[in-house]
Chains A and B, each alone.
Chain A
Amino acid sequence: MDHSVKRRSVIGAVGGLAIASLAGCLGDGTDGAADDTDDASADDGNGDSDGGESEPEAVGSDGLVYAFAPDRISILDPADGDVVDEITDEFDDEAWADPQITHDYGLLFVVEQSLSQVHVIDTETRTHETAIDVGPGVNHIYHPVDDEIWVHADDDGAFYVIDVDALEVSEIVEAGLEGEGHGKLLYHEAMGDTGYATNVNDPGVPVIDLETYERTGFVEFGEGGSTHYKAYGPRNGLAYVEYRGGTTVVNTETDEIVDELEFTGGMFLSPEEDRLAIVDDEVYIVDVTSEDSDVLGSLAIDGDPSTVRFGPEGETAFVANAESGDVAVIDVATLEEIDRLEAGEFDGRNRMAVVGDEYFITPADADESVAVVDMAAQEAELIDVGVSVDTLQYVGDSGTGYTGRYR
């Protein structure tokens, strides 16, 4: 009988992984890193904070990186290249997924998949606050409005809305048409109270009213297929959505399809919000300043590129490669690879990366390290964390398209 339990468990896990992997979004950082924290035993898994302890000191976390490992959360200082702190809290074999920091950088929410929970870290005190039960198959997490965290439960095809103040689920928003499917949320302050949900079971994007917590419409792309990756161009007001091997471009004001691109993949916006990098078999650069969505060019990069982050000025881009153990440096203007920086080995298929301050940071789980790239000097350093880490969160402004300016 135990076989059946294990089999069911494995099927569930593999199924979820397969969907995420096929979609190519596992830990790609577009929706935040994939990692999680579990403190069910510490607080009964019921969302209650540990009591009876003295008030922790507010030491802050500005400029630090939270690195999520199965049994701990290591806090790194990218400037010094050191591990400055750790949170253990009885973590044990946690399956972390996306992290998401709040707009004021005060709280860090991170998905733990095995128990379908969202753990909350206080970045001021560097303490584990609580774990919040959400729906099953949870993976991606969003922060569309200041006082809410939205987490997508793939098994329900729904978003569980967490009240940031109460730290509890306040709403459940049914998004996917079929009530299930791996999904994401596209939102921007320019879109007002409207968001687009993607879903691997839906041939288009459900339109979500962020204020009333309901699906109000559906932008149909075709009769079949599914939607997955997404991005928003603030300067042209267009949404870019992966659909049937290409990218469908939608006018978010009219909900009309205005263009289609023949490639698709993880989408990464430049700091000036004028360029959109789309990682397919090559890295494509799209001009997102006009409705034309001109493709400026593409560049083939060896080593299975996973995540693209632009440098502070947008002149260079850094590509985390999953297989080659390095980071490719690209001249955005000429679309040439100008350097390769050793960044440690990575075991997974999709290597995430975040930027913060002047650093490009990507995990090297096979080396139990985190690679920190000085984007200005184009130099890389490995910080030894002693455990396998594949998910990171920078505390501070992570740049356009990420926590902070683009929620």
Chain B
Amino acid sequence: MTDSDRHTRSNATLLIVILIVGSVLLTSLVTPVAAHAYLSESDPANGEHVDPLPDELTLYFSGDGVVNADITLENPDGEVVSEESEIDPDDTQIVRVPIDDAAGDDGMYTVEWEVLADDGHTTAGSFFFAVGDEPLDRDAVLEAYEEDETDETIPAIEAGAKALLLVGVVGLLGIPAVAMLAVRPAFARADAAARSSVDERIGRLLAGAAGLTLVGAVVLGLTRSTALGPLSLETISQFVETPLGEAWIVQVTLAAVLAGLVTAAARGPLVKRAVHVVVFGGALAVAGTIAWTSHSATAIDQLEGAVVDFVHLLGAGLWAGGLVVLALVVVPVVRNAESDDRADLLARTIGRFSILAFVGVTLVVASGFVLASWHVPTADGLTGTIYGLTLVAKLVLAALALGLGGLSRFVLLPRLAADQGPETADGLRPASTDGGTERSSRDRSVSTVVRSIRLEVALLVVVVVLSGVLTSAPTAAVASGDDLVESTIEYEYDDHLVELSAFPATEETAGDALVLEADEPIVFKVAFLEDGGEAVASDQPVRLLASSDDGTEFEVELEETDDGTYAVVQPLADEGRWEFRITGAPDGSYVSEWIDAEVVPADEHDHDTHADADGGGHDDHAAGHDTHAKDHADHGGPEEATAFQTLLQFGAVVTVVGGVVAITLESLRLRGGRFDRE
């Protein structure tokens, strides 16, 4: 056993210890701790009726404070009647908007808001209230819901910049780690030319990764700064004063330093090992800045979210970044090496890398399960949101890469090791009795391994790019909140069909009861239908009477719509059981039907916050705003995990346990010299 081998085993043992500690940490993080950012309350409230029009509109935000607010109030005529928004200097979670509308006409008023939280992320949404007794306008409400539903766009430049940044950081993490722990030990006995070639190629790779990191970080920050206004020095100055801007400055500085360092290392006589250690440490710091401003940190919990995201990045770096070294450094050097040494070098390198890869895969998969449990709380979120679909694509590609990695490690590597025996001098052997020749099985094994590695690298690069998209999209936990459905219940009444629809509903009709969300303006629609499905007019006003178990009762008249149905917009304040009664007189025949409903608490990711999941909301503020304090705290409280989340959390634990076992076995194999030439 060489010193290098002992060093490698020592490192493997250290990694196992880190992994076990990490698994404990991950296990403690698997329960979601808070919700994402949202507009927690407003005055007037969403769907509220007021009279007269107040002088001021007040919005209460949860999570981080607000540094910039763009809020407009439109009157029933569509005219903007709000003045400049004012952020409360004593509590930046409160934004006040003076209203300047002398007429104060009755009707529906629409609030469009977009705020930049002090973590630098933008959230936006809309809500509405009514002045006077006039009910909320159905069409306007539906239009507002529709606008909320469709806003799941991904900013292309930001996603691209984030992808570049991630690719660069993954490289900066993986390249030096694999260089130090796998490549150098494996090439310790190689000739000087090979070692020099390795150093040169690693240097170029690092330079490329550092360049991607720098470019990605700069462009990402500049893009995000445009949330404050058109790109300019003033905008950038404003941006750097936000927490995200501060993180960006650190990020760019680190990237620039790393870029300078690797450039100097490539041109100067710096000690390679020291450079790699510094680069790895610098990359960890850059990864930390990314994790600190990630979805998880801002939407779940600053510290715990950042830790899991950081672990995810580190795992990706060890796995994908390491593979890049294999594909772009080891393989070319091995191909130029003596024929007898090719398989040996490749096998030794892969053998050592496999431990790092196991660690990386374990970390990235386990933390990935935790992240998914936070951001995709239900299975529907996988298919019903852009975030979910992107995640599925990423998972498929990652699974393919993992399969290729398994193929390399468990099929091709043993074959490569078995082919390390003596061969003919020219590396060729008789292929047949006709005197022709063919490439040796050793070379064929090398080629197969190389193709597998290159394909695996390509897949993982795409996976990392998709991660850039993921981090720029609203999470499924947020976007799923926009998954609005209409629930309909039908009753036969004499010769007619009475149909009551409610939109939005929490779920489509479950049995004979509606399931609705409290405090949400709900569009109730009633239709009296003939056998042929034709709508029948009512000779009497069509009314909706609602009665809750808590004693709230009201009766409202529905307005006839163009399609012959009757509609009204009405929020329901009380959670719990309600009874609705629909009355009307289609064709003069009196109809009265009762419908049960269950009103559930307002979803924490309600439609008000949809444009970006990053906008704070990850911690409660104890002080609160008088009566609003309780609401804030409620929104930030722990939630019960869904079955899907529990499954994902279980997957994380299983992955950690399986990873530890696999790494242990792999270390034992390495200690047994399975990958060394006998």
Which residues of A are in contact with B by a Cβ distance under 8 Å?
Answer: 1-9, 11-12, 40, 44-47, 93, 114-116, 133, 135-136, 156, 158, 160, 169-172
Contacts and interface: CB of A to CB of B under 8 A. Distances in A.
Contact of A116 (B133, B519, B555): B555
A81 B296 CA distance: 74
A170 to B, nearest CB: 8
Given A8-B49, A115-B547, 6 more contacts: A4-B45, A5-B554, A45-B579, A158-B540, A169-B590, A169-B592
Given A5-B571, A45-B581, A115 B545 contact: yes
B574 A7 contact: no
Contact of A5 (B541, B573, B594): B573
A354 B307 CA distance: 79
Contacts of B540: 135, 156, 158, 172
B553 A1 contact: no
A2 B574 contact: yes
A177 to B, nearest CB: 16
Given A133-B581, A133-B583, A133-B592, A115 B553 contact: yes
**Closest 4 A-B residue pairs measured CB to CB?**
A2-B573, A133-B592, A4-B49, A1-B571
B579 A12 contact: no
B117 to A, nearest CB: 25
B585 interface: yes
A172 B590 CA distance: 8
B547 A40 contact: yes
A116 B545 contact: yes
Nearest to B553: A114
A9 B552 contact: yes
A172 B585 contact: yes
Contacts of B47: 1, 4
B573 to A, nearest CB: 3
B555 A160 contact: no
Interface string B314-344: 0000000000000000000000000000000
A44 B572 CA distance: 20
Contacts of B408: none
20 contacts: A1-B47, A2-B573, A2-B574, A4-B130, A4-B571, A5-B554, A5-B570, A5-B572, A6-B573, A8-B49, A8-B556, A44-B594, A45-B581, A114-B547, A115-B547, A133-B581, A133-B592, A135-B583, A136-B545, A170-B590
A8 B541 contact: no
B614 interface: no
B555 A12 contact: yes
Nearest to B596: A44
B64 interface: no
Nearest to A114: B553
Interface in B478-522: 519, 521
B554 A8 contact: yes
B312 interface: no
A3 B41 CA distance: 14
Nearest to B572: A5
Nearest to A133: B592
Interface in B572-590: 572-574, 579, 581, 583, 585, 588, 590
Contact of B555 (A2, A3, A47, A136): A136
A5 B555 CA distance: 10
Contacts of B574: 2
Given A7-B49, A8-B554, A11-B133, A136 B592 contact: no
Contacts of A9: 552-554
Contacts of B553: 9, 114-115
Indicate the member of A6, A8, A160, A171 with the most B CB atoms within 10 Å: A8
Nearest to B570: A5
Interface in B386-427: none
B592 A1 contact: no
A4 B50 contact: yes
B224 interface: no
A7 B594 CA distance: 24
Nearest to B135: A8
A60 B590 CA distance: 33
Nearest to A5: B573
Contacts of B573: 1-2, 5-6
Nearest to B581: A133
Contacts of B519: 1-2
Nearest to A161: B590
Interface in B529-578: 539-541, 543, 545, 547, 551-556, 570-574
Given A11-B133, A115-B581, A1 B46 contact: yes
Given A3-B48, A115-B581, A45 B594 contact: yes
B517 to A, nearest CB: 11
A299 to B, nearest CB: 43
A242 B211 CA distance: 93
Contacts of A135: 540, 583
Nearest to A6: B552
B45 A1 contact: yes
Indicate the member of B572, B588, B594 with the most A CB atoms within 10 Å: B594
Contacts of B594: 40, 44-46
Nearest to A132: B592
A259 B46 CA distance: 57
Given A1-B519, A115-B581, A136 B571 contact: no
Indicate the member of A2, A47, A172 with the most B CB atoms within 10 Å: A2
A1 B593 CA distance: 26
Contacts of A158: 540
A8 B552 contact: no
A244 B541 CA distance: 30
B602 to A, nearest CB: 10
A8 B547 contact: no
Contacts of A12: 554-555
A2 B546 CA distance: 13
A133 B582 CA distance: 10
Contact of B48 (A4, A136, A169): A4
A133 B552 CA distance: 18
Contacts of B555: 12, 116, 136
Contacts of A160: 590
A48 to B, nearest CB: 10
